[in-house]
Structures are given as structure tokens and as C-alpha cells.
Chains A and B, each alone.
Chain A
Amino acid sequence: MNCKQATQLLSEKLDRPLNAKEKVSLGVHTTICVSCRRFSHQVEELRTISKRYVEESKSE
């Protein structure tokens, strides 16, 4: 698995459950690749930020 494939799966992980094989290959890749680990954290952060953005637009 390369970074292009890993990042695509990390994005899809937010939209569907990954299968066992995908989880394993992704796990192996992110263990050795700091850039994809960061990407993983950041797309999750995008989700958190989006939720807060909607809340802010309702409440400020």
C-alpha cells in the first residue's frame, strides 16, 4: 500500500466500515508513515471542526 491508497482509505473510513484486509494494510502503512498518520488525524479533525462549525452557526 502506498500513501495515495492509504489516504483514500483513511477518507473512506469516515464514510463506511473498512473490511479486515483493508484495516490490516492500513495499520501497517500508518505505523511506518508519519505523513499518513497525520493525514488520518487531520481528516478526523475536519469532521470535529465541521460539527463545531454547525453548532457555532446556530448559537453565536
Chain B
Amino acid sequence: MTNASTSPGSSPSPNMGVFFDVEFTQELRQQMLKFALLQVRDEQLAEDAVQEAMISAYQNIDRFARQAALKTWVFSILKNKVIDLLRKEKRHTAASQLEEGPNINGEALIDALFTENGHWQKSERPRKWDDPDHGVENEHFWRVFDACLNALPEKYGRLFMMREFLEMETSEICYNEELTITNLNVTLYRARLRLRECLEDNWYAAEPTS
């Protein structure tokens, strides 16, 4: 196909500049990969999603005058790709495996936390979280948070991330995951019980390391 436009093919559009900034592009790729890997455990699939998002950014390069605009755009594409991947990934996970994971889950978790008449077990009562001294703006905190997320059963982790990271509506999650709203509510509830306990034990109430 011949291109009779006035711009010669050899000189890139002015905005291509953002992509010639190697450092920026590499850093962006790393950030995207990290974002994708938070949610998609298969590294190859995460790489592919990042690649596709980068390509669609190239294709729409004229829209971006600034690196920040490109970044916002590319992350919103990536987010949609991650949602697609999660949708597909679900089909490969047998229902029986979904609640498996370290520590206790499901009904057993609820039974361990609450007494027979539904009050907190004395030892399980939430403690006060002191954030000022234990500021969350800290690399060590994010390592703890990562570890707590990874310790969740796969189903808990995925639904929690869909809701809290991808900020999907509950109706959207139910539709994607073929879940009833009751089922989703219960799973998110258990995920939050587990996460808050993990953060409390390993961060907020942990002995200071220094």
C-alpha cells in the first residue's frame, strides 16, 4: 500500500520521542510487569499482556504529548488485559482447589476466629493498629503486604484483587467469575479477615526490628 501523505516515513512523529527515551521505556515496562504479576501468576501471560499494551500505545502514539499521559493510557489498557486474563485463568482452576492454601480457610477460619455464640475469640480480637510509628510508606511494609496476599488461597486473592486493585464492581466480578453475590460477599469477607490478621501479626503488632 502506497502512502502519499506529506510526512516522510523516515522521520517519526514528534511524539515518538517518548518511546526513544530508553530509560523511560524500560522503567515503564518493569512497572507494568510488576503490576501484571501482582494479579496474573503466569509470568509468560503477564509478559504478553505488557507487550500488547505497549504495542497499542505505539499505535496510538500521537495522542500523547507527555510521558505521564502515555503511562496512564498504557496502564488502563494493561488493566483490561489483566481482567481478560483473570477471566480465562479461572477456567483452568478446578473448583476444589480454589480454597486451598496455607493456614485455615473457609468455615474453619470463621470457627477459629469466633466463639460458638458468634463473639470474637479472646485471642483473635483485633488489636489497635498504630500507623504513625509503623508508617506504611515503607518498603518493608510492602514486602509484608505481598507475603500476606500470597498466603491467601488463590480464589480469595483473585477476588480481593479484582475488587480492591482493579476496582471492579461486584456485579462485574460475579458475571466474570460466575459467582452469586452471596458467594462473592462471603469470599471477600474471608479474604479481609485473613488479610487483616496477617497484617496485624506481621506488621502492626510485630516487634519492631530495629
A residues with a Cβ closer than 8 A to B are 2-5, 7-8, 11-12, 14-16, 35-36, 38-39, 41-43, 45-47, 49-54, 56-60
- The complex places the Cα of A39 from the Cα of B196 at a distance, in Å, of 8
Number of A-B contacts (CB under 8 A): 84
Contact of B170 among A15, A39, A45, A53 (CB under 8 A): A15
- The complex places the Cα of A3 from the Cα of B142 at a distance, in Å, of 29
B185 interfacial by beta-carbon distance below 8 Å: yes
Interface extent on B, as a size class? 35 or more
- The complex places the Cα of A42 from the Cα of B164 at a distance, in Å, of 14
Of all chain A residues, the one with the shortest Cβ separation from B137 is A52
Q: Which of B3-11, B94-102, B124-132 contacts A (4 or more CB under 8 A)?
A: B124-132
CB distance from A12 to the nearest CB of B (A): 5
User: When the two chains form their complex, are residues A50 and B125 in contact, meaning their CB atoms are under 8 A apart?
Assistant: no
Question: Of residues 70 to 85 in B, which have CB atoms within 8 Å of A's CB atoms?
Answer: 71, 75
Of all chain A residues, the one with the shortest Cβ separation from B126 is A38
Contact of A5 among B118, B126, B193 (CB under 8 A): B118
User: When the two chains form their complex, are residues A49 and B31 in contact, meaning their CB atoms are under 8 A apart?
Assistant: no
B residues with a Cβ closer than 8 A to A are 31, 34-35, 38, 71, 75, 110, 114, 117-120, 125-129, 131, 136, 142, 145, 163-165, 170, 184-186, 188-189, 192-193, 195-196, 199-200
User: When the two chains form their complex, are residues A42 and B110 in contact, meaning their CB atoms are under 8 A apart?
Assistant: no
Known A-B contacts A2-B117, A16-B170; A11 and B35 likewise in contact (beta carbons under 8 Å): no
Residues of chain B lying within 8 A (CB to CB) of residue A41: 129
